[in-house]
Amino acid sequence: MTPGDKTPSRQRLRTDLALMHEEGACLPLRSTHGQCHACADVCPVQALRVTVAALVLSDACTGCGRCTAACPTQALALPEMAILALAVPPVTGPMTLRVECRKVPTQAHAGETLVLPCLGALTPGHLLARAAAGIEVQIIDRDWCHGCEVGCSEARPEHPASHALEAAALWLDSVGSVRRASLVHEPLPLALRPAAIPPAPLPAPALDRRRFFRAALERPAGRQRSDATPMGGDGRAAYPVDARQPSPERERQRLALEHLAQDRGTAMPAEFFPQLHADARCCDRRMCVALCPTAALSVADDGAAAHLQWSSERCISCGTCVRACPDAALSLSPHGGKAGMHTLASHLRTRCSSCGDSFTPTRKPAQTTEPALCPACSKSRHFMHDARRQLFGALN
């Protein structure tokens, strides 16, 4: 999925490393309720650290791309892997795509080959998109992952691509499709494996005179440029609601499954869609709407009532809305829902007797004889009342 024009562009986490980051899409940087450490948890060399104000990348980064596969909103990316985000056109005949680690020498490649820095950079969506296009994917296992600095280890004995393979197989089975992704064992001598992941074969940008002198000023006398600039000023990224986008990975999975289900004449699996419920404690504070990273939550206000709406297709089950709700009115289940837009709660609106704005009262009219005041006017009136009491004492 190509982000819209209003989506902030990604920037390098460090000028000397290739990993790109879009801080507005990063859950822990959006709010204190976005408690996500997926990238740091999956990093095989512990090169990423999530703090309150920034995502910190250390010198240990190998550029394997496994963090980009783990990120639920794809806030992390490697430029060389942009090909995976492109739409996959359907093929007319049999086609097999082989996926190789970049450590494998080119002369060992056979047929149509996609080269990734690490096989762990694949996601279920990448495999499903190719299955929907009629492409058989073969992930080539050269027996090099054990002992590789970003591959298998005693703590993580599973193959780096095992999660993507298993998840894709489950979704393909759920729509009755034939599995089109497999792990193919074709060992190579360990002596051929390089010690580190080779750099991506990207052409270097031309350095004109302006860029040359700018680089010379930024790095005088051989000093390294500091990359300690905090993100978002106060540690929070400015990301307007209308710039929020669905998760590219989830969109890939959904579109591929819909296509496969239609071809097989089956229904979309209920396990794909989460469930979100709002109970009677919901009182239209809209914190969930403000903090939802994919704009899955919204409010439809017709003047007479405000309706809290939720899209199960956009929801990534991050739980930010549940943690942010000041009334603990939301409950979330990651599976078993239905596709589409759902109305979670409806709140009658009334007019403020002071300013005339429409608002949702927190108390029913029968419970109070006070005039209907919106929160701002009520706060202002109570402030003035308290001020008079402090200046003139209690008034009878």
Q: How many residues does the chain have?
A: 396
| Residue 160 binned pLDDT confidence (cut-offs 50, 70, 90) | very high
| Residue 63 binned pLDDT confidence (cut-offs 50, 70, 90) | very high
User: Is 104's pLDDT higher than 90?
Assistant: yes
User: Is 163's pLDDT higher than 60?
Assistant: yes
363, 342 Cβ separation under 8 angstroms: no
| Residue 6 binned pLDDT confidence (cut-offs 50, 70, 90) | very low
Q: What is the mean pLDDT of residues 321-339?
A: 94
* CA 172/CA 221 separation, integer angstroms: 57
Residue 12 backbone dihedrals phi, psi, to 5 degrees: -65, 135
* CA 338/CA 342 separation, integer angstroms: 9
CA dihedral sign of residues 108, 187, 148, 118: positive
Helix (H, G, I), strand (E, B) or coil at 260: helix
Quick: pLDDT tens for 17-34.
999 999 888 999 888 888
Encoding tokens for residue 74?
Answer: 């794809």
The residues facing 297 across adjacent strands are 310
Q: What is the mean pLDDT of residues 49-71?
A: 93
Q: What is the mean pLDDT of residues 126-138?
A: 95
Strand 76-77 and strand 20-21: pairing? antiparallel
* CA 67/CA 41 separation, integer angstroms: 9
User: Is 100's pLDDT higher than 60?
Assistant: yes
* CA 88/CA 114 separation, integer angstroms: 13
End-to-end Cα separation, the chain, in angstroms: 66
